[in-house]
Amino acid sequence: MIITPESSSESFRQIVEADHAGADSGAAKLRRRRRDRMEMIRTTSVVVIAFLLMTQAFYVAAAVMIPVISAVVISLALRPIVRKLSSYGLPDAVAAFITLGLLTGVTVLLASRLITPASEWMSRTPIKFKLRQLEQKLEPLREPLESVQEASHEISKAVDKSTATPSDELSAPEAVVIKPPNLVSAMLSSTWQLAAGSLLCIVLTFFFLAKGEALLEHIAVVLPFEASGTSCESGVAAVERSISRYLLTVSVINACLGASVAAACWLVGVPNALLWGAMATLLNFLPYIGGLVGAGVVLLVSLFTFDSIAYASLAPLAYVTLTAIEGNFVTPSVLGRSMSLNPLVVILSLTYWTWLWGAAGAVLAVPLLAIFVSACRQFNGTRPLAAMLSD
């Protein structure tokens, strides 16, 4: 093969062009990486800012948001029942009224049945007598302390008068004493807030149930269900079914746990076994924390009831054992992996909502997490997040 000057220059030009092309390709990859990194930083910043703003808004508007969120959770749980009644020809409003009326009636009936034994136990509990005895024992010590406190107050007033100058007396502002509200007014305020919040929750739940189909039409315009390959109706119905199944299953499991705890307390001889069984049912809606609180309450009741510490520990030991069996074997096997939540995520959600809304947030923490995970499973882009939050 004969190499001419023209062929050698052509080969050199091709080599140079290839080098430039490689350099351009490397620069393009570098620019693309930088662009992707900046996009990720912007997205993360927007998510963090939105989360902080949402937290502030939820904290400030807690009196309104707690009934609204509670109504959303309850309506998602009851919507399949309303849809089933509507399939028999009943209007949505009538079906919603029947469903919500039955739920409210059962709740009021159970509460009225539990208030009487609870008040009776509180009136005859040994704790009250022990506190009275302790107060009587401390009565001789309280009088000298009160006299010392009064003398100290008089001395401080005398010192202030002796060190005060005429200009200080003229310019001294008048002391304003702000008295905090007494216990009765605080209880009345809390009662009115609870009553108003409960009424608002019931009204909103009724309208969410009665106007559910209209809400679906508006959701279809906003949420990109078509991009995930499902329709709006099927997507929201899937969320409703999963949440309804989750809440119903958890409620039945908690009721069975409460019945088991009541039976254990009755066998041991703890008074008002049904009351502690109902307490176990309600507290078990708070994962991890509810079981510890319930076992502690049963331990205190047993210690005030029985003289032997060993015998008094039987009821709380049975409580802890039953709760451990329920949490580690019964609930995972019944719910399956479809609604199994990551324990760490559950604890974080419980901590966040309890800090934000107190006891109401603790009750809503797990249902809200379950709703979020179920909604994330309906979109292709958020399914990895749902898998990460699941167990």
CA atoms of 318 and 295, how far apart (whole Å): 9
pLDDT for res 137: 47
Q: Which residues of the chain have a pLDDT value below 70?
A: 1-27, 121-190, 216-217, 219-235, 336-339
Handedness of CA 212, 214, 217, 222 (dihedral sign): negative
Cα gap 358→378, rounded to integer Å: 31
pLDDT of residue 183: 47
| H-helix segments, the chain | 5-60, 62-86, 92-124, 126-163, 166-171, 183-210, 212-222, 232-268, 273-283, 289-305, 309-312, 314-325, 331-335, 343-357, 359-376, 383-389
The model's pLDDT over 214-258, given as tens digits with 9 standing for 90+, comes to: 776 676 666 655 544 555 666 677 777 788 888 888 888 999 999
pLDDT in tens, 344-371: 888 888 899 989 998 888 889 888 888 8
pLDDT of residue 139: 60
Domain definitions of the chain by residue range:
230-391
